[in-house]
Structure 1
Amino acid sequence: MPSSHPPAPGPVLRSPVGLAQAVTVLLGVVIVADLLIVAASLNMRSLMGKVASGGVVDFDEGEANRADYAMAGSAMLYVIAMLATAVVFVIWFHRVRHNAEVFAPDTQSRTPGWAIACWFIPIANLWIPRGIAADVLRAAQPDPYGGAPRHRGLLNAWWGAWVWAMVFDRYASRTYDKAQDVDAIHDAAGLVMASAGFDALAAVLAILFVRRLTAAQHEKALAGPAVPGH
């Protein structure tokens, strides 16, 4: 006897456009924070360079404190901006993964819950999110089953830049925190400056990827379901 209960409704599309715009703005704030770190690091390097070369006869402790405050303040702004960005980015990431379940569920190697959980697993968060993003990108293509998806190179560039920036930042931060003498602080500030540059590049690539993937899903949603044989 057939069941009298109607079938459970499947997942429905949810627009990622608003979230993508929020992520873009927040990543812009991250880039600004990175640039402030670069400026603070340049100032610290300049000051330490003058001291090391004997160019500063009467060492101004106040100037050194201001340089140190600039480093700490820009780093704090970066942490706040990055935390806010991470929260909204993960929400956006889960949204586009949810939509992939509507577009082409059989192309997804992990369940939607992994779009959130993957970021909190040490070590594994260096590759699992990238795999999920690749699956979502494929599902957003006009033909998810034909050939390499568009923007795959952008995904790889963003992910590689992000992993490198994260690893290099840990090295630079630890080196700066351990620096005690003038030469060590001068060199460590250079590492911090380079780290901020790498991070800004990763943020730019992240903006491009978020916008491209969001646009692909939006266009596919507007196009409607594919018609067999067309």
Structure 2
Amino acid sequence: MTCTRCRQFDAAPGGELCRACEAEDQHPDVGPSLPQAPPLPHAGGAPQFGPGAPASWLRSPVGLGRAVAILLGVVALTDLVAVWADVTMLDVLGRMADGAYGSAIEADADRADQIYAMTGTAQSVAYLATVVVFLVWFHRVRVNAEVFEPFGHSKKRGWAIGGWFVPVVNLWFPRRIAIDAWDASSPWAKPRSHALVNAWWTFWLIGNGVSQAGTRAYARAETADELHSATQMVLFADAFEILSAGLAILFVLTLTRMQDDKARSGPHAPEPEPVTA
């Protein structure tokens, strides 16, 4: 029979728990205060989520995943508008660098500044809202992953949020947590490739670095030529962030679907024991 606590391994002969759960003091990641395994299928054949489910830390990530995907789409849309604002600003700065002057160029410069400021505010609001919901989703899928695979995680669940804010370690902790959650959420019989996770994380790091460099360069710029060069960097960062948001949407929706499918598939069936003569 399957262990009645973790429902991941075969119970020890004559008992209801597996060896790992029996030796709880040697396996601190497994215990009654930590996530339990997916509930066994009900009459309809699928595990239940939500308040009506048996006591368990497994919670559906579907609603949060969709919310994150929508917000990432809003981020991409604000970035697209920001690209237009960047191009408008570059046009004005280029004309100023060529020696254009007068009331017409001043009016165009004022309008470009207003558009630039408005799109920057819209980007910041959309980004902050997305960060909050993403972190809630990321923590949930990390906890769910611990239910699927109690021993396959190199980082504590608190790092699913804290790992994004601690300098230096935020360069690899979130990816490590994502990889562990991805592996734990993969189908029982066929692990999924890490290609999408690696692509998302690579684009996130590059886009974040370019965005910070462009912002600093724009803040330091004083002449028209310096502003022109800084705006080009910001334009590249905004365009690159659209691609990053697209990959992030794919990552979020794919991992959400993997966890939902795995939860609905029920506990892993134990491997058949070889028949001896």
TM-score, structure 1 normalization: 0.90
User: 1:36: which partner in 2?
Assistant: 81
| 2:152 aligned with 1:107 | yes
> Alignment partner of 1:120: what SS?
coil
User: 2:262: which partner in 1?
Assistant: 220
- The 5-angstrom pairing of residues 121-132 of structure 1 reads 121-132=166-177
> Alignment partner of 1:107: what SS?
coil
User: Which of the numbers 41, 49, 67 marks the counterpart of 1:22?
Assistant: 67
User: 2:234: which partner in 1?
Assistant: 192
Larger radius of gyration between Structure 1 and Structure 2: 2
Q: CA deviation at 1:203?
A: 0.9
Q: CA deviation at 1:66?
A: 1.3
Q: CA deviation at 1:116?
A: 1.5
Alpha-carbon separation, structure 1, partners of 2:60 and 2:94: 52
| 2:207 aligned with 1:207 | no
User: Which of the numbers 196, 206, 219 marks the counterpart of 1:164?
Assistant: 206
| 2:137 aligned with 1:85 | no
Alpha-carbon separation, structure 2, partners of 1:58 and 1:115: 53
User: 1:47: which partner in 2?
Assistant: 92
Q: CA deviation at 1:229?
A: 1.8
Alpha-carbon separation, structure 2, partners of 1:83 and 1:202: 16
> Alignment partner of 1:105: what SS?
coil
1:107-158, Cα deviation, whole Å (9 max, x unpaired) = 11122222121112112111101000000000011238x7xx4241110011
Q: In the alignment, is the contact (CA less than 8 A) between 1:51 and 1:59 conserved in 2?
A: no
Q: In the alignment, is the contact (CA less than 8 A) between 1:45 and 1:189 conserved in 2?
A: yes
User: 1:4: which partner in 2?
Assistant: none
TM-score, structure 2 normalization: 0.75
Ranges of 4+ aligned residues in structure 1 off by more than 4 Å: 55-59
Question: In structure 2, do the counterparts of structure 1 residues 189 and 29 end up closer, same or farther at CA, with 3 Å as the change threshold?
Answer: same
Alpha-carbon separation, structure 1, partners of 2:217 and 2:188: 48
Q: Which amino acid aligns with 2:141?
A: V
Alpha-carbon separation, structure 2, partners of 1:185 and 1:60: 16
> Alignment partner of 2:164: what SS?
helix
| 2:32 aligned with 1:8 | yes
Q: CA deviation at 1:215?
A: 0.6
| 2:196 aligned with 1:154 | yes
Alpha-carbon separation, structure 2, partners of 1:61 and 1:226: 69
Q: In the alignment, is the contact (CA less than 8 A) between 2:87 and 2:235 conserved in 1?
A: yes
1:76-95, Cα deviation, whole Å (9 max, x unpaired) = 11111111100000000010
Question: In structure 2, do the counterparts of structure 1 residues 97 and 151 end up closer, same or farther at CA, with 3 Å as the change threshold?
Answer: same
Q: Which amino acid aligns with 1:27?
A: L
Identity in percent: 44
Q: Which has the higher helix share?
A: 1
Query: Number of paired residues?
Result: 221
User: Which of the numbers 215, 222, 239 marks the counterpart of 1:173?
Assistant: 215
